[in-house]
Amino acid sequence: MDATLSVRAVLANTLLLILVTGTLNHVYAAFFGIRRLDRYFSSKPDPSWESRSPFDGFYRLHKYSFLYSLGIRRPTVGAGLSLWLYFSFFSLTIIWITLGLAALGRYLQIGPFA
């Protein structure tokens, strides 16, 4: 039983680490980092015309990371930016799956918050 608990603890801590680092990454990107991605992904003639709103930045982070990671639109970017896009895709997917499962658990009245 200790092995089961330790595996659960490792999985819970890993999920928590992904959620925390992903959230910090998305907050940084929404306020400051999205301008780096606009140079490669923006459809506007001048990327500085993109909205400076953090909400729009968060939307564009979703859009750019999913387009790049799923291979729909892949401009030539550096290795660091590519890694950032893949991490954003992975952490956004984990965050949305976690939120979806929590909402489903709440709706079906299962789990610790029923």
Within a domain: 87: yes
> Can you give the residue range of the structural domain that contains 92?
2-108
Residue 82: closest CA among 51, 16, 14, 36: 36
Q: 14: which 2 tokens?
A: 């890993």
CA dihedral (73, 76, 80, 82) in degrees, to 10, reads 20
pLDDT of 24 reads 92
pLDDT of 1 reads 53
Within a domain: 90: yes
C-alpha distance from residue 84 to each of 6, 22, 110 (Å): 30, 10, 35
Within a domain: 8: yes
Average pLDDT, stretch 12-38? 89
The number of distinct structural domains making up the chain is: 1
Which phi and psi angles does 54 have, rounded to 5°?
Answer: -60, -30
Per residue in 45-96, pLDDT (tens digit) is 888 888 888 889 889 999 999 999 999 999 999 999 999 999 999 999 988 9
Q: How far apart are CA 73 and CA 43, in angstroms?
A: 12
* Contact (CB, 8 A) for 26 and 92: yes
pLDDT of 112 reads 67
Q: How far apart are CA 59 and CA 56, in angstroms?
A: 5
pLDDT of 66 reads 94
Q: What is the percent of the chain where pLDDT is above 90? A: 35
pLDDT of 46 reads 86
Between 22-26, 87-91, 110-114, the lowest mean confidence (pLDDT) is in 110-114
Within a domain: 75: yes
Within a domain: 114: no
Is the dihedral angle over the CA atoms 41, 44, 49, 53 positive or is it negative?
A: negative
Within a domain: 81: yes
Within a domain: 43: yes
Within a domain: 113: no
